Amino acid sequence: MIRQTGPSPALPAPASSRPYAKARPGYGKRTASGQRAPWAEDFALMPERERYIAGYVDPLPEGAAMDIKSLAKHLPLYGQMAVSSALKALGVAGHLRRVRCLAGERDQVRWVSRTYWSRTARDNEWWDAFLTTEGSVPPPEATPAPPSTDADAQAPVAASPQNATTSPAATPEPAPQQTAVASEAAAAGVTHPAPAPSAVPEQRAHGAAQAAHSPAYLALAQLGRMEARLALSAADCRVLEPLAAAWFSRGVDADYLTQALTAGLPAQVDSPVGLVRRRLVDKLPPQLTSSTAPATAAVTRGRRLLAECTECGRPGAPEALPDGLCRGCRTAASDTTPAAPAGPPAERDVHALVAQLRELTRLP
């Protein structure tokens, strides 16, 4: 038996995956539906720069950062301007769309930026239908809380006094030894305190509900972690909680409250609780009128997704941004034409020009 010497016919081990930046929760890359399997000729008809950047973006996982700075940081061949131009070209070619969509839970929602990526180039009609469908489906974070289980529903019934008095099975029979001990204690005149009743599931649930803090309290408690100059104690948070709750009742969220309280702080804060109290009172947002509130709620329910111009970031309906560009950016791109090459310079008398320059230098 002859052993084969030389390189092994087995394929080499795959290289480790390239590092990538992960976006904040809710942001980043989203893969569009209806993708075909990748193959070697993907993006072969595009210029070298766009083909290079598309080859990096395509295998990125869901939630990867798709902003220009993060991509330029991980692409050593091109800077931010080149990455921005390449993303614009990929959007015109039908590979990506930038959107803003609502994400959050019940009334605490916020606008997040996402980039939908399609390995297969799509036309404007396909993107309009896809983004309209995505915008009509509420996000997973907005789903209502699941109903209580059967055990939680039966706990209050089992602990109600009416059932305890009417149901004979609710009162257990005492054991013979316990009866004898109780008779001897009664005869001796010794009384023992009754044992404390154990907490029923309803009481435990009520205690857990009291221990949970409100969104206003949690927003105030997070101020110290966001800005060390506004660190509040637990007592300070309880005192300021009603003032912060007035902000939440007017439709703002924790991010808005934190930004309003931490913006433009002085170099030194001697009394954080006093400064926060003053800002909670002075910067209280206006109350929405009854006529505008239903309209805002209708817009929120009707459209949860807005397309975003790949060039300037202006939001709008998907059908109003063909090729992922707003009207101004499309007009600017169409008006930008390569300038005609300049003709050869006119022939000049070099000796006469030099003589003229010498005369100018002799003048006082």
Mind listing the domains of the chain with CATH numbers?
A: 28-139 (1.10.10), 213-282 (no CATH)
Residue 2 in tokens: 């002859």
d(CA 205, CA 294): 35
Residue type present at position 192? H
d(CA 88, CA 285): 38
In terms of Cα–Cα distance, which of 231, 278, 226, 295 is closest to 256?
Answer: 226
Residue 213 has pLDDT above 60, yes or no: yes
Residue 301 has pLDDT above 50, yes or no: no
**Top-confidence residue, 238 or 289:** 238
Task: Say if residues 100 and 306 touch (Cβ distance below 8 Å).
Answer: yes
Instruction: Calculate the average pLDDT of the chain.
Output: 73
With bands split at pLDDT 50, 70 and 90, how would you rate the model's confidence at 188? very low
The reported pLDDT for the residue numbered 313 is 85
Beta strand pairing call for 108-117 and 28-31: parallel
Alpha helices in 307-364 (DSSP H): 327-335, 350-362
The reported pLDDT for the residue numbered 25 is 83
Give tens-digit pLDDT for 57-91.
999 999 999 999 999 999 989 999 999 999 999 99
The reported pLDDT for the residue numbered 84 is 93
Give tens-digit pLDDT for 107-154.
667 888 899 999 989 999 999 989 888 876 554 444 444 444 443 434
3-class DSSP state of 27 = coil
The reported pLDDT for the residue numbered 352 is 81
Neighbours of 50 (CB within 10 A): 20
With bands split at pLDDT 50, 70 and 90, how would you rate the model's confidence at 248? confident
Task: Say if residues 6 and 92 touch (Cβ distance below 8 Å).
Answer: no
The reported pLDDT for the residue numbered 254 is 86
Residue 7 has pLDDT above 70, yes or no: no
Residue 49 has pLDDT above 90, yes or no: yes
What share of the chain in percent tops pLDDT 90?
A: 28
Structure-token match 């609710």, residue found: 170
Highest mean pLDDT among 138-152, 165-179, 286-300, 309-323: 309-323
Contacts of 38 (CB under 8 A, 6+ apart): 58, 59, 119
Rounded to two decimals, what is the model's pTM?
0.46
- Compute CA 171 distance to the chain's CA centroid, rounded to the nearest angstrom: 55
Q: Sheet containing 305-308: which strands, arranged edge to edge? A: 28-31, 108-117, 96-105, 305-308, 315-316
The reported pLDDT for the residue numbered 78 is 92
d(CA 33, CA 42): 17
